Amino acid sequence: MKRHLVSTADLGRDDALLILDTAEELSQFSGRAVKKLPTLRGRTVVNLFFEDSTRTKTSFEVAEKRLSADVINFSAKGSSVSKGESLKDTALTLQAMGADAVVIRHHASGAPARLAGSDWLHGSVINAGDGTHEHPTQALLDAFTLRRHLNPGTGRDLAGRRVAIVGDILHSRVARSNVHLLTTLGAEVVFVAPPTLLPIGIETWPCEVSYDLDSVLPKVDAVMMLRVQRERMSAAFFPTEREYSRRYGLDGTRLAKLPEHAVVMHPGPMVRGMEITAEVADSPRCTVVEQVANGVSVRMAVLYLLLGGAVFADAPADAPRTTELPEAAQ
């Protein structure tokens, strides 16, 4: 990977750690009165969102503005896309306007990869979620949060840690990105879901599979709850919401089964009373709000490394290489 972030499967261990370490440095400035850095001054970043988003879109916009980039927000609703314009023509239009990077969320799996592999854009492409495929920056911020809680100051990766991802694995791009990244960082991943919410071929993925949440909880360092994505469902995947919550929901009783150091995560939006109760969502062990805050630092790191002069580990040997922040940020 040289110019784009499309999938966590493209990240080697060194690249992933570089992003996380850079995010750790950048997070130091979030508490300052003046949070802006001049790193991307004069660069234009387009947020190209074909799906509704609150956290991801806002997080990217905050990250871009803190790095002093010129930000253009593009929504499919009210644009020429609603009139039938293709992804290619939209991309060519953005290129003509001088976009240095495009952050894209699309309902079709593979759209960011198509954009990155084409000659329609000359800038970087960052995947902000494509269909049921991947959401790499969400996985990075999850790993960043896990590292802070489970390995504070003792290690850069997640070797030896065990993470349970529970819920709608079938439709989850977050689960797919996390299983790649967490295993790259040395963690063990176990998926917990009813058989109807597991994808075909999951036996080839680098993870374990369980149908029994209660047996898994005492043996993990973190549990990540996933929302049931009804908007992507065209059939009944479980009998009732009540039955699903009884078998796979995280409540106070199940929270007590976790080891004392374990944390509860959720990519959001949460459906309280379905996959997670209000008691657990409001517990000090739940990191949901912290994940949102960490997302800004992680996305700043990705933008900085792609556009700010530093390069990833597999760039050409003669490429300029630096992991130091600009002078104004030190």
User: How does pLDDT run across 102-120, given as a tens digit for each residue?
Assistant: 999 999 999 999 999 999 9
83 labelled ligand-binding: yes
Strand order in the sheet with 263-265: 208-210, 188-192, 162-166, 222-225, 263-265
Instruction: Write the CB contacts of 230 (distance below 8 Å, at least 6 apart in sequence).
Output: none
To the question of whether residue 138 is assigned a binding role by annotation, the answer is yes
Output the pTM of the full model: 0.91
Spatial contact of 301 and 19, defined as CB atoms under 8 Å apart: yes
pLDDT of 96 reads 93
pLDDT digits (tens, 9 = 90+) for 48-90: 999 888 899 999 999 999 999 999 998 776 566 666 789 999 9
Of 133 and 34, the structure prediction assigns the larger pLDDT to 133
Q: Does 41 carry a binding-site annotation?
A: no
Residue 229, marked binder: no
269 is in an annotated binding site: yes
**Neighbour-count burial of 108, counting CB atoms closer than 10 A to its CB (0-12 exposed, 13-18 middle, 19+ buried):** middle
Residue 55 marked in a binding site = yes
Residue 88: both structure tokens together: 């290619």
Residues 6+ apart with CB under 8 A from 320: 309, 311
Supply the pLDDT for residue 322. Answer: 47
| Tokens matching residue 110 | 């593979």
Is 314's pLDDT higher than 60? no
Tell me if 254 is assigned to a ligand binding site.
Answer: no
**N-terminal to C-terminal alpha carbon distance within the chain:** 27
Residue range 266-294: average pLDDT? 95
Please tell me whether 173 is known to bind a ligand: yes
* CB-count exposure of residue 65 (10 Å: 0-12, 13-18, 19+): middle
Contacts of 153 (CB under 8 A, 6+ apart): none
